[in-house]
Amino acid sequence: MEDVEDEDEFNPWQFIKCLPDYAYVRHLCPPITLPPKTAGAPPITLVLDLDETLVHCTVEPVENADLTFPVDFHNVTYQVHVRLRPHLFTFLSRIEGQYEIVLFTASQKVYANELLNRIDPDGKYFHHRLYRESCLAVEGNYLKDLNVLGRDLSRTVLVDNSPHAFGYQVDNGIPIESWFDDPDDRELLKLERFLRQLEPGSVREAVRNKFQCHTLIAKASGNQ
């Protein structure tokens, strides 16, 4: 489960605007983690966040949990309660085979792996999994520097409910509304419709035109 920021105090667009130049943090980046792309792999790499993007997880008991499982962390056993975002499996089934799908979470591997083994036990949907150790830590926040993938970034997108995660590759980032428990949420269906329009080589242009993240950054206050 990811560390939760206080949204009233943390402005992701302001954070991105104040990020140090990439050249100053490049040496902190983890090494390329994924194996080379296979010849027959889909041309576009789709990177998906986990918590509050595809699921909501908590160690507190919740009504109507879709999954419950134990996780041992630092010699303590936690019972994790999971709600799956509405239309999750419809979304995954529609994009299956259309993209090289990478699950990239800032959460701890021990928890995320257990959850993914239940959501996708046969590796049908997610081709690769990346965890907190593959993130770039900057000013107390975990960023997902897409260079860690070793992929052509003109053919790569990251979907994340925390926009600061794609702070160094803004035109590759698709922000999605955080999800906790709204049963009428349809964001994954809307996301699938947008993804269907993407074409290799023009991914960043399409994302920039649709989501206008650069405009939100420009409008943000320059002082944190």
Q: Is the pLDDT of residue 223 over 60?
A: no
d(CA 24, CA 208) in angstroms, rounded, equals 25
d(CA 204, CA 155) in angstroms, rounded, equals 8
Residue 186 lies in a domain: yes
Range of the domain at 44: 12-54+85-219
Which residue type, as a one-letter code, is found at position 125?
A: Y
Residue 20 lies in a domain: yes
Q: Is the pLDDT of residue 3 over 70?
A: no
> For position 90, what pLDDT does the model report?
98
The overall average pLDDT reported for the chain is 93
Split into its structural domains, the chain has a count of: 1
Residue 77 lies in a domain: no
Residue 62 lies in a domain: no
Helix-strand-coil percent breakdown of the chain, rounded to 5?
Answer: 35, 20, 45
Beta strands in the chain (DSSP E): 45-48, 55-58, 67-73, 76-84, 100-104, 128-130, 136-138, 141-143, 156-160, 173-175
Burial class, 129, CB count within 10 angstroms (exposed 0-12 / middle 13-18 / buried 19+): buried
Q: Is the pLDDT of residue 224 over 80?
A: no
Work out the percent of the chain whose per-residue pLDDT is above 90: 88
Q: Whose CA is closest to 34, among 133, 172, 151?
A: 151
User: Quick check: 198 and 157 in contact, CB under 8 A?
Assistant: yes
DSSP state of 117: H
User: Quick check: 110 and 71 in contact, CB under 8 A?
Assistant: yes
Residue 224 lies in a domain: no
Residue 164 lies in a domain: yes
Q: What is the pLDDT of residues 192-217, one digit of tens each?
A: 999 999 999 899 999 999 999 999 99
3-state SS of 8-56 is CCCCHHHHHHCCCCHHHHHHHCCCCCCCCCCCCCCCCEEEECCECCCEE
More confident: 123 or 224: 123
For the entire predicted model, the pTM comes to 0.93
Residue 133 lies in a domain: yes
Q: Is the pLDDT of residue 7 over 60?
A: no
CATH number of the domain that 153 lies in?
Answer: 3.40.50.1000
Residue 27 lies in a domain: yes
Q: With the CA atoms of 109, 80, 122 and 54 taken in that order, what torsion angle do they form, in degrees rounded to the nearest 10?
A: -80
Give the residue numbers marked as catalytic.
49, 51
Cβ neighbours for 215, distance < 8 A, ≥ 6 positions apart? none
